[in-house]
Structure formats: C-alpha cells, structure tokens
Structure 1
Amino acid sequence: MIIPFTRDGETGNVTVALEQVDEPLTVGKHPESRGFPCCTAVVDYPGRGYRALFGWVQLVRSTDNASGGVDFDMDPFVLFEDAPSPYAFFGVSPTLFDAPSRGERKPMAWLAHSFLAWTPLDQAQRHVLPVAGFSWGFDIDATGHITLRLAKALTAVEWDGHLPYLSTCHPAWKFDEWQAGTPWPR
C-alpha cells in the first residue's frame, strides 16, 4: 500500500508492506514467532536534513492488554519505552518496523494504529503534527492459526480520537488535530 502525504508543500509517500514471518531469524526474532506478521513502512520524501525529520507514533489495541482489548495503548520501541517521547521511531525519513509476537498462541486480536508525524524545531513547545496513518494487525484463532489484517489508510477521525489519550501519556507535548496539507504554523 502506498499512502501519499504533504508536508511544507512537498509531497511524499509511505510505502507499507505487511507479511507473514517465515524465517524469524532474518528479522531478528525467535523461532517461536514464525507465522506472526511483520510490518515495514518506508518514508519517501524529497526534503533533506532537518526538513526530513519525522517520527512514528504507534498505538496498539490487543485483547491481551490491560483493558482486554477495549482501549489503545502506546507501543514504544522496547529500548526506549521509558523515554518521555511519543515516538516509537524518529529520524530522517525513518522506517517503521514492527514484528509483534507472543510466546503462546492463544486466541487474541491485535490492531495497531501507526501514524507518521513531524515536530517543528522552531517552537517553544513540542508539537506532534500527523501527516499519514494506517492500521494493521493480526488475529489468532482457537487453533493457534494466525491471520494477518490487511493495512488500511487511517484518517483524521482515528488520529483525533487518540488525542485525549496521547495528551495524558505525554503532557509535555502538544498533539495537533490532523489537518492534512495545512502549512505550519497554524
């Protein structure tokens, strides 16, 4: 799937690839993760240097989370889960990569909302401005069979629905509503 986006009047794309992991070691996972999904989202944007700084905010709703699958939770990169940043990945045109798995194959539903965003460097308060988003995930049935959920583009409705939670989790950050194509500052 290719999702176009605009930032600073320039158009970029996010290319999303979702696949079932056949060889876990090739993606840095343990053999038990065979059959689980992995998602790669590559940013292609003509801006360079600081103009190409983006981050990925990922939230997950899973039937094995604290709410039993009712609510979304932050999904930080494991090495930085205690960092006070909403971004799971951040850098110059950063690639999102995720390969969720579980030790046991019990029935569950797992859904991620992944948003590409940027933060202006010239503002006193840190802002998160979304430019693109997609959902993806997997389900495990009673026999342990894993079914991937196809990637689907997300809209302002989904992002804006996460704003109260994001603001609570990261009170030092400001999360703007999604206004696709609107130049900064607003």
Structure 2
Amino acid sequence: MRFPFVREGRTGSIQVTVERVEDPAAIGQTAEARDFPCLTAHIAYPARGYGALFGWVQLVRSTDGASAGAEFEMDPFPLFAEGGSPYCYFGVAPTLFDSPARYTRAPMTWLAHTFLAWTPMAETIEPHVVPLAGFSWGFSIDHTQTIALRPARPLTPADWTTHLPLLTEQHPTWTFAPAPEHTPGG
C-alpha cells in the first residue's frame, strides 16, 4: 500500500508491506516468529541528506501490553527505549521494519498506529515532531492459535490528535505539531 505525504512543498510517499513471516531466520527473527506479521515501510522523497531526515513514531495497543489493550502505549526501538526520543527509527529516509512476534500463541490483539514525521532543522535544533502521514496495521490470534494479519490502513489527523496527550506525557521536553488536514491523493 502507498501513502502520500507533503513536506516543505515536496511530495513523497511511503510504500508499506505487511506480510506473513515464512522464514524467520531471513529477517533475523527466532522460529517463534513464523506466521506473525512483518512490516516494512520505505520512504520515497526527492530531497537528500538533511533534507530527507525523517523519523517514525509508533504506538501500540495490545491485549498483552501494560494496559491489557485498554490504551495505546509507546513502542520504542528496544535498544533506544531509554533515549528520551519519541522516534523508534530516525535517519535519512529511514526504512521502518517491525516484526512483533510472541513466544506463545495465546489469544490476543495487537494494533499499531505508525506515523512518519520529521523534526525541522534550524540554527538550533529543537525537539519538535511534525507528523506527515500515518497508518495502522497489526494482527490477532484466535483461540485456535491462528494468526490473522491486519493490513495497513490510512490514519486520519484525528488519530494523531488522540495520541498527543500520551506523546506529551511520555516526552515532556518535546513539542508535537498537529497533523496535516489532508495529504495529496487522500
């Protein structure tokens, strides 16, 4: 699925693929990841270098999470969980990859809200997040241990807005811009 976005007057897109893991070793996963989803999101954008710095913000609502699925929670990259950034990936046109496997196949639901964003660079770098586009994706496991994948679907500006209280609570030194009202082709 392709999601368009506009940053500083330039149009870009996100190519999102959600697929079933058939060969866990090929993606650096353990055998338990077989049949779980794996997401890859590539960015196409005409700028380069600093002009193509982006970050991914991902929040997850999971029945095996701290809130037992009642609320979305931040989903940081494990190596940087204590780093203080709302981004789980950041870099020059960074590819987002996620493979949320579990060791058991107990019934559960897992839903991610994933946003491409950027932090404007100026004479001073301020910790500020500007969302560009978002999508949801996930999976569920039923009582027969069957894993159903949830394909990527576009999110609305209202979805970003619902996450602002959590984002500002979890990252009080950062500011978060409102979501754009529309995207090209949206």
TM-score (norm 1): 0.95
- Displacement after TM superposition at 1:124 (Å): 5.5
> Matched residues in 2 for 1:95 and 1:138: separation?
21
Alpha-carbon displacement from aligned partner over 1:111-133 (angstroms, at most 9, x marks no partner): 00000000012156311000011
> Matched residues in 1 for 2:32 and 2:182: separation?
43
Secondary structure, aligned partner of 2:137: strand
Equivalence for 2:20: 20
The size of the alignment, in residue pairs, is 182
Are positions 1:155 and 2:156 aligned together?
A: yes
Task: Report the more deviating stretch, 119-128 or 40-49.
Answer: 119-128
Secondary structure, aligned partner of 2:65: coil
Equivalence for 2:138: 137
Equivalence for 2:127: 126
- Displacement after TM superposition at 1:22 (Å): 0.4
Give the conservation status (yes or no) of the 8 Å contact 1:7–1:181. no
- Displacement after TM superposition at 1:33 (Å): 1.0
Are positions 1:59 and 2:59 aligned together?
A: yes
TM-score (norm 2): 0.95
Q: CA RMSD in A?
A: 1.3
Secondary structure, aligned partner of 1:162: helix
Alpha-carbon displacement from aligned partner over 1:31-83 (angstroms, at most 9, x marks no partner): 11100000000000001111100000000000011111010000011111111
> Matched residues in 2 for 1:181 and 1:10: separation?
14
The amino acid across from 2:131 in the alignment is P
Equivalence for 1:117: 117
Give the conservation status (yes or no) of the 8 Å contact 1:6–1:180. no
How does 1:69-148 map onto structure 2 within 5 Å? Answer: 69-122=69-122, 125-148=126-149
Q: Percent same amino acid among aligned pairs?
A: 56
Secondary structure, aligned partner of 1:117: strand
Give the conservation status (yes or no) of the 8 Å contact 1:6–1:181. no
Secondary structure, aligned partner of 1:3: strand
